Amino acid sequence: MLLRFIADPSTIAATNSDLSTLKATVEDGSGNLIEGLTVYFALKSGSATLTSLTAVTDQNGIATTSVRGAITGSVTVSAVTTAGGMQTVDITLVAGPADASKSVLKNNRSSLKGDFTDSAELHLVLHDISGNPIKVSEGLEFVQSGTNVPYMKISAIDYSQNINGDYKATITGGGEGIATLIPVLNGVHQAGLSTTIQFTRAEDKIMSGTVSVNGTDLPTTTFPSQGFTGAYYQLNNDNFAPGKTAADYEFSSSASWVDVDATGKVTFKNVGSNWERITATPKSGGPSYVYEIRVKSWWVNSGDAFMIYSLAENFCSSNGYTLPRADHLNHSRSRGIGSLYSEWGDMGHYTTEAWFSIKYVLVI
């Protein structure tokens, strides 16, 4: 007697409802199918349930049962007749699809600053309806659903606890808005799960680097204290986020008397107020950098006109100006903050407003 035993399919979901059909085909020694013979089925190993332990062969010599289970793993089922001929077959039970009642997606912080530094942890637990962990080592991702929040970054998935169906990732961002995040496995949204994180505007950062002024670098936080029409200087890259340059930002000025171009070059177009703010807004998200200009004294020049001290003093006074003392012009042999020449260097560099290397100037 010959007994053939197969399972179809050989892999099922451990949902306690998915079935594998087991078929035992009985033939005699001549290959004739035997009808009406009782076949006995038994679970040899593993955890599963057989729908019937015995079955009688039909006209095709086939006796049928099925197996289901709720615990993942391998099970072995045997089939034998009273005449012998035992055979076994293996069935693998795997976790079923993620079930919303057994799975969860959560975050440890529901609100973040959009500064690429503030971060939250996403924690995903995937179990099927029987509570079996869904174990994967690739193909999982967290994606945005609905309205997109720009400049959001999600780290690589941590699969180290996949044996428990646990997965983690870290999220940061540089934009603003409410991000709805969903877990996707091989393109399939898992169990309808989602979580939301609100990204708020990052706090402005103060530029604390240097500016390049007529061949010298001076501190941004204190430059300039002296100003004049036609003055210009360059914001250096050390004012911005590490690894970023002026090309990564868009510049704006809060006053019409100050112009700042796309390269970070600042120009005083005319005499202005004592305070102004320049803002560098990142093109790819994150905090803006701000720079406050605080001018204590505004200067005008006399062009190529010369006059004796008393006449110059009267001219200044009658026009609401003050004739400067020597220490107003230069209080040190080195470049620095506090006087016109020490801050701006050789005034002949600024020729558009009739400044000369030899200077006769008035200070407001």
Are 90 and 113 part of one and the same domain?
Answer: no
Quick check: is 245 in a domain? yes
Residue 335 sits in a domain whose CATH number is: 2.60.40.1080
- Write the DSSP string, 137-156: SSSEEEEEESSPPTTEEEPP
Count of domains in the chain? 3
Alpha carbon distance 277, 289 (integer Å): 10
161 and 273 in a single domain? The answer is no
Instruction: Give the CATH number for residue 50.
Output: 2.60.40.10
Q: What is the pTM of this model?
A: 0.77
Using CB atoms within 10 Å of the CB of residue 150, give its burial: 0 to 12 exposed, 13 to 18 middle, 19+ buried.
middle
359 and 222 in one domain? Answer: yes
**Is 226 found in the same domain as 141?**
no
Q: Tell me the per-residue pLDDT of 47-68, one tens digit each, with 9 for 90 and over.
A: 999 999 999 999 999 999 999 9
Among residues 30, 62, 94, which one ends one of the domains? 94
Domain that holds residue 44: 2-94
Shared domain check, 320 and 187: no
Q: Is the pLDDT of residue 176 over 70?
A: yes
Residue 110 lies in a domain: yes
Whether residue 334 is predicted with pLDDT greater than 80 in this model: the reply is no
Are residues 28 and 155 located together in one domain of the fold? no
Residue 250 is encoded by which pair of tokens? 């868009």
- Asked if residue 99 is part of any domain, the answer here is no
Query: Which of 71, 94, 117 is the C-terminal boundary of a domain?
Result: 94
Same domain, residue pair 220 and 353: yes
At 198-210, the pLDDT tens digits run: 999 999 999 999 9
